[in-house]
Amino acid sequence: MNTNQFTHLEINIPNIKYNLKYFRSFLSDNTKILVLVKAYGYGHGIGEFSRILEDNGIDYLAVAFPSEGVAIRQAGVKLPVIVFSAGMEHYPLLIHHRLEPSLPCLEAFQRFQTEAAKLGEHGYPVHIKLDTGMHRLGFEKAELDALTKELPLAQSVRIASVFSHFVASGDPLHDDFTKTQIARFQTLSSFLESHLNYKPIRHLLNSPGIERFAKEAQFDMVRLGIGLFGMSYVDRSLLRPTAYLKTPVLQVKTVRQGDTVGYARAGKVTVPEARIATLAIGYADGVNRHLSGGKACFSVNGHRAPTIGNICMDMCMIDVSGIDVKPGDMVTVFGDDPTIFELADILGTIPYEILTSVAFRVPRIYVS
Ligand SMILES: *Cc1c(COP(=O)(O)O)cnc(C)c1O
């Protein structure tokens, strides 16, 4: 019997725990773990998902936007939450929800410390981002000098952590550059620390960083993202998929040679009779329209079936000729087969984008 005969993203909690254990195996017992739940938890949901992470001993969460942090607070999660890309006008909102800003430059630091002082804060936790080579956000040496001069007067805030982000830690081709980033981080963070009378948490490693540089650079905390969701940069067979996009067959029909399936007559039937199954999922749900016309196969009842015709907004069609399929049967768009890696390869993108493309309207179902 199928349960959940509607379009949903199934989140497999045992597999999340399995992957977490793998990443923990690289770390010392006292190294903290931050999990990135930006972009709706890499598609896995935010409120309930953050609660699950809290229950599994995660120390910190991080998001991109304040609204994501607010969703975490609304779910009753008490963990510290870093917000990476808050605009300055959001600072009072962050403080209201006890969300902690990542501060990438002196202007941001001054503005936040002013807002915090106005609200009567003392020692509000903030996180200093260092630029060690990404050249996207972060303090470089000269600006860090200026920051240290302001610190004695900036009593409304406390530097809870100092961190930086790798450019290409998963790619052995760039290991020399990664090592340069580690060295710069070491130097800049020590410099900052030498101007404080307390020790901020230092963190540098992202998922591939944990797999490849945990010995020399785990510092006090690591930031786990895509790895938790099954992506290994060392050996993919070591990790398990955590998200399964599933949708029911709405109807099965026979279409004869010369007839076409779907919009624009794009899906031509070239065999005497094709069996076509219509699915309750479309590009508005996150099934990329470039998967139309047989570019991808989804799996149903143990078989792979190619798309036929153009993927529609809310539906798409697959060719199930020769497969025993009836309305209500569940089709896997991604999960074990195909994997997010296969779809990413077809689309010329990265698995992150497959996960983060699943639409808001697709309910997340947590399975333990
Ligand atoms: C997204 C992000 C990460 C996690 O990266 P993964 O490649 O998913 O492990 C870590 N740190 C920062 C600052 C990020 O924005």
Per DSSP, 226 falls in state G
Distance (Å, whole) CA 362 – CA 366: 13
Alpha helix segments (H runs only) across 81-160:
91-96, 106-118, 141-150
Does residue 202 share a domain with residue 249?
no
* 21 given a catalytic annotation: no
- What pLDDT was estimated at residue 130? 98
CATH code of the domain in which 296 resides = 2.40.37.10
Name the token pair of 316: 């798409």
Listed residues 186, 208, 231: the one ending a domain: 231
Whether residues 225 and 247 fall in one domain: no
Residue 85: CB partners within 8 Å, gap ≥ 6?
A: 64, 65, 102
DSSP summary character for residue 307: B
Hey, whose CA ends up nearest to atom 13 of ligand 1? 165
**pTM of the full predicted structure?**
0.96
**Contact assessment for residue 95 and residue 88, using Cβ atoms and an 8 Å cutoff:** no
Distance of CA 305 to the CA centre of its chain: 28
Percent share of the chain, pLDDT over 70: 99
- pLDDT at residue 315, rounded to an integer: 98
Closest CA to 291 of 303, 301, 279: 279
Instruction: For residues 342 and 299, give the distance between their C-alpha atoms in angstroms, rounded to a whole number.
Output: 13
- Ligand 1 pocket, mutate which of 103, 135, 206 (most atoms under 8 A from CB): 206
Number of domain units in the chain: 2
Asked if 298 and 217 sit in the same domain, the reply is no
225 plus 79 within the same structural domain: yes
Domain membership of residue 340 (yes or no) is: yes
Determine how many CB atoms are found less than 10 A away from the CB of residue 256. 10
Instruction: Determine whether 40 is an active site residue.
Output: no
The pLDDT tens digits for 1-22 are 457 899 999 999 999 999 999 9
- In this structure, is residue 277 part of a structural domain? yes
Cβ–ligand 1 contact at 23 (below 6 Å): no
Is residue 3, in this structure, part of any structural domain at all?
no
Query: Ligand 1 mean position to 35 CA, how many Å?
Result: 9
Length of the chain: 368
Q: What angle do CA 13, 16, 19 make, to 5 degrees?
A: 155
**CA-only gyration radius of the chain, Å:** 24
**Residue 208, domain extent:** 13-231
Same domain for 254 and 211? no
Token digits for 1? 């019997």
Other CB atoms closer than 10 Å to residue 168's CB: what's the count? 15
Query: Would 202 be classed as within a structural domain?
Result: yes
Same domain for 225 and 80:
yes
d(CA 207, ligand 1 centre) in Å = 7
Residues 159, 222 within the same domain: yes
CATH number at residue 102: 3.20.20.10
For residues 285 and 354, the answer to whether their CB atoms sit within 8 Å is: no
Residue 108 lies in a domain: yes
Q: Which residues have CB under 8 Å from 325's CB, separation 6+?
A: 249, 252, 275, 277, 300, 301, 305
Q: Is there a single domain that holds both residue 68 and residue 192?
A: yes
Position 121 scores a pLDDT of 98
Low-confidence residues of the chain, pLDDT below 70?
1-2
For Cα atoms 39, 135, 126, give the angle at the middle one, nearest 5 degrees: 60
Q: Say whether both 61 and 107 belong to one domain.
A: yes
- How many angstroms does the Cα of residue 354 sit away from the middle of ligand 1? 16
42 — phi, psi (to 5°)?
Answer: 50, 40
Please report whether residue 196 resides in a domain. Answer: yes
Q: Is position 8 within any domain?
A: no
pLDDT for position 1: 44
In a shared domain, residues 300 and 226: no
Residues 195 and 275 in one domain: no
CA distances from 93 to 81, 83, 122 (A): 13, 12, 17
Are residue 214 and residue 253 in the same domain, yes or no?
Answer: no
Whether 165 maps to a domain, the answer reads yes
CA 338 to chain centre: 19
